[in-house]
Structure 1
Amino acid sequence: MTRHWLAGLLLCWAGAASAESLPRWELGMGMGGMRMPDYRGSDESRNYFLPFPYVAYRLDWLKADRNGVRAVLFDVTEAELNISLGASPPVRSKSNRAREGMPDIKPMLELGPSLDFNLWRSTADRVRLDLRLPARAAITARINPEWAGWVFTPRLKVDFAGLGGNDVRSGWNLGLLAGPMFADRRQNAYFYSVASEYARAGRSAYEARAGYAGMQYLASLSRRFGDAWVGAYARYDDLRGAVFEDSPLVRRKSYVTAGFGITWTFARATEMVEVKE
C-alpha cells in the first residue's frame, strides 16, 4: 500500500497549479530518486533511483507532462473530472524481516477518476485551494494481473506559485497537501493480512478489514531554470487509528519519505497553448 511510487516521481513534485502558456509538446530526459519503506507500516526502507524520458503533450482534453497523465473528462469554472494514476513497487519477502516466508508483494498499478474542485484562488492566481477526490482500482502488474481492491484518497491541496519571482511563471512553486486514506478489505488484506499458514512466533494470523488507512501530509517544491526543472518533496504518513494498525506486519506507525526529480527539455513545439500546470 505504498502510494505513488513511479507516479510519485511525476505527481508529488507538482508545485502550484497556475494558468500559463506552454508549448504544445516537449521532449526531454529526467532523473528521479526517493527513499521510502517497503510498504506503509514497514520498518525497512529502500532507495529508488530512476532515469526516465520526459514527454509532455497537451490537448484540450488530455495532458501528459511532469504532473502526470490527466484526461480532463469535463471542465467547468471550478471543477474538473480527471484520470488519477498510482503505482507501488514490488517487495521481496525474503528481504523484509516482517514478511519473511510470506508471498512477495507484486508491483501494483492504480487507475480511476478524480473529481477536483477549486475552492478558492487569489486574484493573481498565486494561491489556490483545491479539493481532490480520487478513487482508484488497483491491480497487480504481472502477466496475469490480480484484482487488488479499491482506494479512496480525498485531499486538500494549497498551492503557492511564483515565490520569490515577479509572477506565477517565475520563482519557486510550493504545494501543501493533506488528507486521509480509505481502502476496501481486499486492498488492506493484500498488504496486512497474515494467513494462518504463515503465522509464527511474533507474527500471529491476522485478517485485515476495510476502512480508514491513515493520514498523509505532503510538501513539494519546484522551479524551472530555462530548459531545466527541479523538484523535491517530503511526505509524512501516520497510521495511528488505521483499521490495520494492530497487524503484525505494521512495524512503524509513522514515518517520513522524501524524493527529488530533475528534468531537462531538449525539444519543444513552437505552438503555445494555455494550460493549468
Structure 2
Amino acid sequence: MLKMPFTLIVLYFTLLISSAAVQAQQSESPDRSLTGFEDSDEAQPLWEFGAGGGFVDVPNYPASQERNFVALAAPYVIYRGDVFRIGGGGGARAVVAESSNFELDVSVGGAFAADSDDNTAREGMPELDFLFEIGPQLVYRLRDFTFDNGGEGRLNLRMQARAVFSTDFKRIDDRGYVFEPQLTYQQRGTLFKDTALNLAVSAVFASEDLHDYFYEVDQAFARPNRAAFDASGGYLGSELSLGFSFPIMKNMRGFLGGTARFHQGAANQDSPLFEKDITYSYGVGFVWRLYQSDAVASW
C-alpha cells in the first residue's frame, strides 16, 4: 500500500476527466492533431488551454448490469512536447521512441469508482474505488488513406500493457495488470468538413489480481443468492467503440460516442458478480479552446 500525495490526486483527477472524454470520443479538440493525426505536417501550438464538459454513462464494472452516470465540467490543458505530451487523443504520455510508422510511449488511463450500496450484486461488499493505469504502448501505423473529397484516414495497431491501481485518495493498492491489443481507424473530413470519426476494436486480458477485484466473493461476503467465488486471470472481454466529433462554433467542438463490450467466454463468467454478457457505454460532451501559445510544436 502506498500513500497518495496531493499532487498525484490532482493529476489523477485530471486524467479521469480526460478518460471520460476518451470513452465517448478520442478527439477532444478543434485542431487537426487531436483527431488522431498528431504527426500531421500542419503546425500546432505547443500548448493550449480551455474548458470542457459532458457526461458518460457506463457499467459499474465489466459485465455489471448496474450503471454509473458521471457528469463533468472542468478545464483542460494540451501540451505537445518532444517527449512529454498531454492530450492529442492519447491521454498523457511520455514518448520513448518515434518514427514515421511507429511510436513507443508510456501512457496512462483511468476509470471511475462505483458505489456498492447502490449495486444489488455487490451489496454489502467493499466499494470499487477509482482505477488508474500506467504502462507502455506501441502504436504501429498500418495504412493511411486519402479520399477524393479531401478526407483522410489512418489504420493503427496499438499494443498496450498497463499496471492497474485502485485508490480512495487515502491509499493506493496494486490491482495487477492488463494487456490490450487494439485496432483503431481514424477518419477526418470525409463525412462532413472538419469532422472526425474514430472506430476501435480490442480484446482485453487481465491478471488474476484485477479479476479478483471485480469478481471474487470471499466467504465473509457470501449469501444465499451470492455464493463464494475464487476468480482467476485471463480473458476479460472485447470492445467495439465508435466516436464522432464535430465543430460547434469557432474554437468549440462537440463529441459523442459509445462502446459495446462483449464478455462471452470471459474467465470468470461463472461468478455471481458477472451479470451481463454484453454491456454498453455512451457519452456526449464539448471542448472550448480559450488560449494557445504562439510557439508551435516541433513534431
| Alignment TM-score, normalising by the size of structure 1 | 0.91
CA distance in 2, matches of 1:85, 1:254: 26
Structure 1 position 131 matched with structure 2 position 142: no
CA distance in 2, matches of 1:256, 1:153: 18
* 1:202 match: 225
Which SS does the other structure have where 2:211 is aligned?
helix
Structure 1 position 246 matched with structure 2 position 273: no
Structure 1 residues 55 and 123 mapped into 2: Cα distance closer, same or farther (>3 Å)? Answer: same
Which SS does the other structure have where 1:60 is aligned?
coil
Which SS does the other structure have where 1:11 is aligned?
helix
> How far is the alpha carbon of 1:5 from its aligned partner?
5.9
- What is the CA RMSD across the aligned residues, in angstroms? 1.8
Percent identity of equivalent pairs: 29
Tell me which protein shows more strand as a share of its residues. 1
Query: Equivalent of 1:9, from 20, 24, 45?
Result: 20
Comparing 208-217 and 57-66, the one that deviates more = 57-66
Runs of 5+ in structure 1 lacking a partner?
none
Which SS does the other structure have where 2:68 is aligned?
strand
2:52–2:285 CA contact under 8 A, matched in 1: yes
Comparing 203-212 and 59-68, the one that deviates more = 59-68
Comparing 108-117 and 13-22, the one that deviates more = 13-22
Comparing 88-97 and 8-17, the one that deviates more = 8-17
Structure 1 residues 7 and 30 mapped into 2: Cα distance closer, same or farther (>3 Å)? Answer: closer
Runs of 5+ in structure 2 lacking a partner?
1-14, 28-34
Structure 1 residues 10 and 84 mapped into 2: Cα distance closer, same or farther (>3 Å)? Answer: farther
CA distance in 2, matches of 1:127, 1:183: 31
1:26–1:57 CA contact under 8 A, matched in 2: yes
CA deviation profile, 1:218-243 (whole Å, cap 9, x unmatched)? 00111344211211111000111000
Aligned length: 268
1:41–1:251 CA contact under 8 A, matched in 2: yes
* 2:242 match: 219
Structure 1 position 193 matched with structure 2 position 246: no
* 1:49 match: 71
> How far is the alpha carbon of 1:274 from its aligned partner?
5.8
CA distance in 1, matches of 2:235, 2:22: 23
Which SS does the other structure have where 1:154 is aligned?
strand
Structure 1 position 36 matched with structure 2 position 36: no
> How far is the alpha carbon of 1:133 from its aligned partner?
0.7
| Alignment TM-score, normalising by the size of structure 2 | 0.84
